Each structure stands twice: as structure tokens, then as C-alpha cells.
Structure 1
Amino acid sequence: MNRPADAIALHDPAARRARKVGFTLAAVGAVLFSAKAILAKFQYRYGIDALDVLALRMLMSLPLFVILGIHESRRPGRTPMSRRDFGLILILGVLGYYLSSLFDFWGLEYVPVSLERLILFLNPTFVLLIGVFAFGRKVARKEWIALAVSYAGVALVFVENLRVQGEHVLFGSGLVLLAALSYALYLAMSGQLIQRIGSLRLVAYAMCVSTAATVIHYLLLRDPMHLLQLPTPVYWLALINAIFCTFLPVTFTMGAVARLGAGSAAQMSVIGPVSLVFLGAWLLGEPITAVQLVGTAVVLSGVLLLTRPGANSVPVANFPADTDPREETRG
């Protein structure tokens, strides 16, 4: 009798090692994705704002994504891109990495990192809701329950932060909510394009578009010489953000997907919001209350119900078997 592939893999030392490496890459990638919020908070202490943080992050990560894009485009068997593909990449680059990141960093000026990450972690619920309202999809009862649980958890954490930190949390949460919605639109629109050109190729091209949009925004509002006159620590923090919290998480997470599959890798993303609760308290002195911990647990439970393999009865976009929309760069 033939044993199932999973059972064979469990007894294969090489497969076990690959799974361990995959889980490590997924966990590290999730924490690094989230840590950009910590770095942004440190940069704000030097008197700069969200646009400065975004411009430095994009410009410093651009060479890495250009190299990645060239490498991916030269891989054998790559499908040539049409004008429609390039047009869609322009839209996705603005939505997914320019607007989403701008709203996110702007919101971080007003909310703690733990709340920011929880709101962004609702991306799968926004993608599902876009499918309902924009495409007339139907959602099973268990998905509605998961949605209700997720939003109840965020509401709990939001009210607690409002009580502890003041009304500015309301404005900041609205900005982060716009960031999450912008990125959800990116995910909903990118499915077919990912199938045609590949996820890493799309990320690289979209990041280049986003950098161009950020530079245009900056030139319209400010003297570019301002970026050359900032305190030295700001540049080091921006470089760390560009390499360790922008470029490396993309490659780590896709490496995890290759070893574990999209479903298992997605489960590890829960480490991001949890890590920020404690990193924010340790590095930034942000308060942790019992209500915040309970709310975080509730949100993660609801999102995990939606992100487990086969959970969504009506996905908005069809993603290839080796790719998952949750594994893209999260702004």
C-alpha cells in the first residue's frame, strides 16, 4: 500500500529539514515585516514625518528590487508582458505600495504599533468583503462568523487604546484602515497577473512604480535637498528598514511558501502582530493591558479561520498553487 505524500515527507530527513527551514523563514519574515513600524517610530523621534520615512525606505530599497526584477525577468520560461500588464502594474504599484505605505506610516504617527499591525492583519477580511460587494460573491456562514470575530477584536483593542492614549488614536486608526483597504484592493486585483508573470516579478515591478510615485509626491511638496540634511541615525534606520523590513521579508516568505506551501506559511504570519505587542512595550515603552491582549487573541483567531487552507468559499482572485496573496510584501 502506498503511503500518503505527507507521511513519506515526515519520515524523510531532507523533507523534515526543509520544513524546519521553511517555518524559520516564515517566522522571521513575519517579524521583520512587522518591525518596520518600530523603526518608523524611532525615526519620528528625529522630527521627520511619514513622507520622509516613506521616501527614504523606497529609495534605499529600490536597487534591490531592480536587481530582483531583472533576475526574475530573465528566468527561463517567463511569459512576455503585454501593455495591459504594464498598465495594471502601474495601478497596483500605486495602490499596494505607495498609497498603502503612505497611509500606514502616516497612521503610525498617531497609533501604537500593536494596533497598527492588528488593523493591517485584517487584509484577508477586506479581500473577502471586496469580493462580496464588488463581485457579488457569496460567503458561507462560517466566514461571516470569522469576520465578526476579527472586527470585534479590533474594536476591543481600539477602544482600549482610545482610553489609554487619547482621541488621536481615532484619526491614526482611520489612516491605517485606509492602508489596509488599499492593500486589499491590490490583492484583489493582482491574482491573474501573479499567475502570468510570477509573484516576485510583480513585487519587484510594483515597488519600482511605488518608488516613482513617492518621488513625484515628494518633489511636489518639498525640496529634495531636505532628504540629504537629516540626522545620521535616520539614514541608518531607513537602511535597516529597506533591507531587513522590506526586501528580505519578501524573499524569506516566498522561500517559506516554496518549502511549506502557502497555507502553512500563512499561518506563521500571526507571529507578526503578537511580536509587535511585546516589541512595542520593550523598545518604545507602549503600554500593554489585559484588554489589549484579549483583543489581539480574538483578532488572530478570526483571521486564522479565514486564512486556513480552503477556508474562503469565494476567493476574490485565483492564485497559483505555490503562491498566496498573504505572502506578498505588506506595505
Structure 2
Amino acid sequence: MPWKHWSAERLGLALAVLAALGFSFKAIFVKLAYAAPQPVAVDAVTLLALRMAFSLPFFAWMGWRAHRAAGGAELNRRTLLWVLALGLLGYYGASILDFLGLQYISASLERLILFTYPTLTILIGVLFLGKRLRWQEGAALLLSYAGIGLAFAHDLHLAADMRTVLLGAALVLGSALSYAFYQAGSEPAIARLGAMRFSALALLVSTFATLLHFAATQPLAALQQPLPVYGHALGMAVFSTVLPVLMTSAAIRHIGAGRTALVGSLGPVMTIFFSAWLLDEGLSWWQLGGAALVLSGVLLIGMTKGQQRRPCDPAAPQAASAPPASTACR
């Protein structure tokens, strides 16, 4: 059926599903890059640097468009420092911890742990911002972490070295926590700068921080990788970053932020099935049960927040808290 004949709602839903598909593939690309045949596996810093470098032209275009839309208004020093801090937390810090964690645990467990960031954001609000914990939010926390426990038990049962799984899970939980702090602190910046301008600036900060990290810790020769690694990094940049961000923004325009975020709940389930299909990771009832509990918790958060009007960030990582952050650079 030609695109022009689609209703706005059907088009928005299709774009949201495609965005969730793209975001769910990020962990698959990372694991495939780590497994690419070569004498020494690519390290997390180099792989992240390649991904961000391939994405940089899009981020620069996005920032230029947002700057023009804002009439070229300059940032004051306080706002600039706030954007720098949030950019380092939300995309650089969260991404590097996530890539490191994927060296030790399965893609399916990584996705479920990462998907708890909406509940972590709520905890941060309660502990540091004076917000109250509603019963729905408390129930969502219990559901989400019970689900993580099931999936975690599955990986521990199969692991030859329990310490490896514990280390990987701790790194990915640190990634989710880093992004949750970004999420909790981004609302005033989004209200002041607008979602697109703030997201573009945060993405550019994270890109340059990643490239500086690479320059400080890796030799330039580390960029000499086999073609499969370049292909997986480019795939992450195009299909798990740039295109999903654009599709998420378009979906929000057609069906709203809340419904777009709820469709994004498909992401962890997609990752579990892609992991079993492409990476030969085990698929068990423990994982499926854990995914169901985590999704139930996030959906409960979404329904609770769906009653509140909040600014939406069309470039956040892949998970669903409604009205959202949507998804990109985790």
C-alpha cells in the first residue's frame, strides 16, 4: 500500500514499530562486532568511537537545524554547563558502561537490565528530588526487578564463571542508572531549550567525549579493524541510532509520545528473539517470564505518567517511559 494512502495513525504505529526494531538491534550489532574473526577482539571504547563517529554528521545536522529554529540564540554559562553534564551522563557514560557490560553478559539480559531505567528515574526522583512514590510506581519497581531476577538466574545457571555475569550485570545496571540521572535532570533543560535542540547538544557532547576518550586511551592503529567490525559499527549508527531517532520523532508527531513509548516496549522482547536467532543465545521460559514482568512494570509506569503532561525528548535510548524519552544512544 503506498505510504500516501496510509492514515496518520497507521503510519505512526508502523514507524514506532520500526524504531523499536532498530533500537533492539543495537545489542546484536555490538555482540556481532565483538565476535568478528580477528586476532584480538575489538574493545568497547574503539567500537563506541566508531559508532559515534559514523553518527556525527547526523548529530551535526540535527544541531544546526535546532540552532536555526531557535533563531541562533546563545546559551548562558549555567545552561551550557548543565547540558555538558547531562550529555556526559546520558550518552557518553551510559553508552560506554553498556558496551563494556556486553562483553560479559548476553544481549537479552543486557536489554532487560537497561530497560529498567524508567523505574530508576522514579527512584532518583523520590530519593533526591522530593517526589512521592505512588503505589503504581512501587508495584512497577517490584515487577521490573522480579523480571530481572528471573533473567539473571538464567544467565547465572548457564555461566561458566559467575563473577563474569555479575560484572557484566553491574556495568549495564550502571549504564541504566547513568541514563536515569540524565532523564531526571533533563526536564528543565528541555523546557528551556526545546527537545530537539537539547538532544542535539547532548548527543554532540557525548560524541566528542567518546572521541576524546578514544584518543586518550587507544592508539590510532586501533581504528584499523576488519570490514565486519566497520559494518556492524555503521549498522549501529544508521539502523540503531539515526533512523530510529528520525522514525521515533515522526511517530510522536502522528500518534503522540505516550503511544510511541508504549510501542517501544516491544524492544526487549525483540532483542531476546534476535539473540536466540542470530547469536545462538539460549531462549528459555525464565527469560520470557522475566521479559513479561519487566514489560509489565514499564507499562504500568507508562500508564501512570500518561496522565501527566511532560516534555518529550525525541532522541533518548530505547525504552519506554511515557511520555517519553524515546531512545537512541544507549
Partner of 2:218: 222
Partner of 2:27: 37
8 Å Cα contact 1:72-1:201 kept in structure 2: yes
Partner of 1:268: 263
Supply the AA of the counterpart residue of 1:275.
Answer: M
Match of 1:20 among 10, 14, 23: 10
Deviations 1:209-256 (A, max 9, x none): 1111112211221112321x2111211211111111111111111111
Supply the AA of the counterpart residue of 1:327.
Answer: S
Aligned partners of 1:322, 1:224: CA distance in 2, in Å?
34
8 Å Cα contact 1:92-1:206 kept in structure 2: yes
Match of 2:182 among 177, 186, 191: 186
Supply the AA of the counterpart residue of 1:319.
Answer: R
Indicate the SS of the match to 2:15.
helix
Partner of 1:291: 286
2:238 is equivalent to residue 243 of structure 1: yes
1:49-68 equivalences under 5 Å are 49-68=43-62
Partner of 1:11: none
Deviations 1:43-90 (A, max 9, x none): 101310211110100111011110111012112667643222211111
How many Å apart are 1:165 and its aligned residue? Answer: 2.6
1:152-171 equivalences under 5 Å are 152-166=146-160, 167=162, 168-171=164-167
Aligned partners of 1:196, 1:260: CA distance in 2, in Å?
24
Structure 1 residues 195, 73: CA separation in 2 closer, same or farther (over 3 Å shift)? same
TM norm structure 1: 0.89
Give unmatched runs, 5+ long, in structure 2: 315-322
Aligned partners of 2:203, 2:11: CA distance in 1, in Å?
27
Match of 2:194 among 191, 198, 210: 198
2:251 is equivalent to residue 252 of structure 1: no
Indicate the SS of the match to 1:286.
coil
Partner of 1:319: 310
Supply the AA of the counterpart residue of 2:236.
Answer: N
Match of 2:79 among 80, 85, 96: 85
8 Å Cα contact 2:240-2:328 kept in structure 1: no
Aligned partners of 2:88, 2:302: CA distance in 1, in Å?
25
Paired residues in the alignment total 313
Aligned partners of 1:246, 1:267: CA distance in 2, in Å?
19
How many Å apart are 1:16 and its aligned residue? Answer: 7.3
How many Å apart are 1:266 and its aligned residue? Answer: 0.9
How many Å apart are 1:134 and its aligned residue? Answer: 0.5
8 Å Cα contact 1:25-1:256 kept in structure 2: yes
Q: Quick one: percent identity of the two aligned structures?
A: 43
- Larger Rg belongs to: 1
How many Å apart are 1:146 and its aligned residue? Answer: 1.5
How many Å apart are 1:275 and its aligned residue? Answer: 0.4
8 Å Cα contact 2:48-2:210 kept in structure 1: yes
TM norm structure 2: 0.90
Q: Which runs of 4+ in 1 moved over 4 A?
A: 76-80
Structure 1 residues 319, 83: CA separation in 2 closer, same or farther (over 3 Å shift)? farther
Structure 1 residues 143, 212: CA separation in 2 closer, same or farther (over 3 Å shift)? same
